[in-house]
C-alpha cells in the first residue's frame, strides 16, 4: 500500500515541490547540507537500480533532466486527475498529431523547458551577483540538465516544428458541417428557394421536400 501510494502521489507532490525549488528566491541561509544528504539515498538507490538493469550510474543525472522536461506534462496530468476527481467526469482522449516518424508534442510542453533554462540562467546571474554560492550551483545544474535533456529527448529543430504546429492548430479550426433539419435533405444543386427559406429555414430544398410542400398546398394544409 505504501509503495503504491508513493508511486501514484509522488508525481503530484514532487512536481509542485520542484516548482517551488525552481522559483522561490531563497538564499544560502536556507540551503543546508542536510537537504542534499536527505536526497542522497534516493539517488543512490536509483543509480544502483540503473546499473543492475544494464545502464550507467551516471544516468541518474539524465533522468533528473528528463523529469525537468516532463514537468509541464506531469503538472497537466495531476490537474486533469483533480478535475476528474471533483467533476466525476471521464477526461476525453485527445488525438496526438503525427509528424513524420514521431509524435508532435503540444507547443506549451515544448516551450516550458526552454523557460526553465532561461529562468535558471537568470537565477544563476542573480545569485552570483548576491554571492549565493549554493543556490547558484543549483541553478547552474538545473540549466545544464534541462538543456541537455532538450537536446537529447526533443531536439532543436523538432522544437521549432512542434511550436509552429501548435501555432497553426491555434489559428485554424475545423469547419463543422451545419446540422440538417429533421426530415429534409440538402441538395447542393437545387436553386435558391426564398419561399422555402421562409417556410423551412433552409436555402436549398430537394425535389422530395418541394413535392411534399405542394401536396400540402393542394389539400389546404399550411
Can you give the pLDDT at residue 151?
92
The torsion defined by the Cα of 121, 124, 125 and 126, in degrees rounded to 10, comes to: 120
Q: The pTM is what?
A: 0.66
pLDDT for the residue numbered 99: 60
Q: What is the pLDDT along the chain (222 residues), one digit of tens a residue?
A: 888 787 778 778 878 877 877 777 766 666 667 777 888 898 899 999 999 999 999 899 999 899 889 888 888 888 887 788 788 777 666 555 556 677 778 888 899 999 999 998 998 888 888 888 778 888 899 899 999 999 998 889 989 988 888 888 777 766 666 665 555 555 566 666 666 666 665 544 444 444 545 544 544 544
How far apart (Å, rounded) are the C-alpha atoms in residues 83 and 81? 5
Amino acid at each position: 500500500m505504501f509503495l503504491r501510494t508513493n508511486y501514484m502521489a509522488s508525481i503530484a507532490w514532487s512536481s509542485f515541490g520542484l516548482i517551488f525549488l525552481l522559483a522561490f528566491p531563497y538564499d544560502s541561509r536556507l540551503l543546508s547540507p542536510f537537504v542534499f544528504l536527505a536526497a542522497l539515498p534516493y539517488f543512490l538507490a536509483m543509480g544502483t537500480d540503473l546499473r543492475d538493469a544494464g545502464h550507467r550510474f551516471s544516468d541518474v543525472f539524465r533522468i533528473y533532466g528528463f523529469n525537468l522536461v516532463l514537468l509541464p506534462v506531469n503538472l497537466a496530468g495531476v490537474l486533469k486527475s483533480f478535475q476528474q476527481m471533483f467533476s466525476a467526469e471521464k477526461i476525453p482522449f485527445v488525438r496526438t498529431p503525427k509528424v513524420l516518424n514521431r509524435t508532435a508534442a503540444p507547443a506549451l510542453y515544448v516551450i516550458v523547458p526552454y523557460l526553465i533554462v532561461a529562468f535558471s540562467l537568470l537565477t544563476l546571474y542573480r545569485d552570483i551577483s548576491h554571492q549565493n554560492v549554493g543556490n547558484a550551483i543549483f541553478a547552474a545544474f538545473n540549466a545544464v540538465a534541462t538543456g541537455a535533456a532538450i537536446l537529447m529527448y526533443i531536439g532543436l529543430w523538432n522544437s521549432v516544428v512542434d511550436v509552429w504546429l501548435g501555432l497553426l492548430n491555434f489559428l485554424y479550426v475545423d469547419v463543422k458541417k451545419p446540422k440538417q433539419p429533421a426530415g429534409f435533405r440538402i441538395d447542393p444543386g437545387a436553386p435558391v428557394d426564398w419561399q422555402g427559406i421562409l417556410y423551412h429555414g433552409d436555402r436549398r430544398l430537394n425535389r422530395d421536400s418541394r413535392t411534399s410542400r405542394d401536396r400540402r398546398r393542394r389539400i389546404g394544409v399550411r
